[in-house]
Amino acid sequence: MKKKYTFVKLAIITAFLFFSTSNAQIIANGTYKIFSTVHNEVMTCATTAPHDANMATPNATDNYQLWTFTHQGGDIYKIVNQGNNLTLGINDGWCGVFGDVKANFSNTDANVEFKVSNSSIAGKYVFEIAFTTCNFGSVNLPVKAFDIQDGAAGAQIQTYDVDITNANQQFQIVDPATLSSNSFNNSTKFQVYYSALNGLNIISKESILTHLNIKIYDITGKQIKKQIANSNNSNSLQMNVNDLTKGVYLVHVTENNRNSVHKIIITKYKLLESKVLISSCK
């Protein structure tokens, strides 16, 4: 009798854990930018109706690039644009291929629920249609997902068959401050930039570099590279970063009391942007 009780108890606990895990909230409620590494762009929407969703260069002062996620249960979310306070949805409830994604709806409208699920790459997510009230004869089988049209820069967001390995359907949900490109601080005493020829370059504007602690993070905040280096009595230092894939990175440089964080964007061929995010120099 005791063994039977133990088995039943174990089965209940296992079922509970499975149910809890399968319905876990992937993204905490909050306001984020939706980032794609295809062209290092973020999701935004047009400022005028019908507010088509599309990709654009990150801009720290543009509220149309900010999206507030509200958990609806399981892995389902409603997503509101902070520029117009309207909810993301599918035009006319179209659930088929090439459906237009728009931030043009009330939060109480139909067709504004989306499933956020893991893609084939850790830290990147796929946005799937979560509603079933499909109009005009379209069907939600197979399920469709947000897709950057033709993988083009500045492209519109449309729906297409789910493919978690497709880069055009893989998005990162990031803290807006991480992608700030407008907080340049000229008081920093370090210049940090990337070139395809020489890699990461660190230059002191004032004195010889002595003992540097360099840490590189991806945009999710994960440290991916670290190096302690000496410039050999020079005011400049170069660091090999050939192992980094194209994307956005934060470079944290510390030397004695000098400390700064720089953003670089690495593409296959050249640097697109390098900005200082935080500076603390004495």
Is the pLDDT assigned to residue 119 strictly greater than 70?
yes
Among 134, 132, 157, 138, residue whose Cα is nearest residue 146: 157
Residue 1: per-residue pLDDT: 43
**Cα 104 from Cα 96, distance rounded (Å):** 19
For residue 40, the 8-state DSSP code is T
Is the pLDDT assigned to residue 261 strictly greater than 80?
no
State both tokens at 155: 């492209």
Is the pLDDT assigned to residue 159 strictly greater than 50?
yes
The pLDDT > 90 percentage for the chain reads 37
Is the pLDDT assigned to residue 189 strictly greater than 70?
no
Give residues with Cβ within 8 angstroms of 151, minimum separation 6: 38, 167, 168
Contact 113, 130 (CB under 8 A): yes
Is the pLDDT assigned to residue 244 strictly greater than 90?
no
Residue 238 three-state SS: strand
Is the pLDDT assigned to residue 13 strictly greater than 50?
no
Residue 177: per-residue pLDDT: 65
**Cα 157 from Cα 44, distance rounded (Å):** 9
pLDDT band at 199 (very low <50, low <70, confident <90, very high): confident
Is the pLDDT assigned to residue 157 strictly greater than 50?
yes
For residues 111-135, average pLDDT: 91
Contact 98, 219 (CB under 8 A): no
Distance from chain centroid for Cα 60: 14
- Of 13-22, 78-87, 129-138, 231-240, which gets the smallest average pLDDT? 13-22
For residues 61-81, average pLDDT: 94
Is the pLDDT assigned to residue 20 strictly greater than 90?
no
Is the pLDDT assigned to residue 44 strictly greater than 70?
yes
Among 34, 61, 30, residue whose Cα is nearest residue 181: 61
Residue 268: per-residue pLDDT: 55
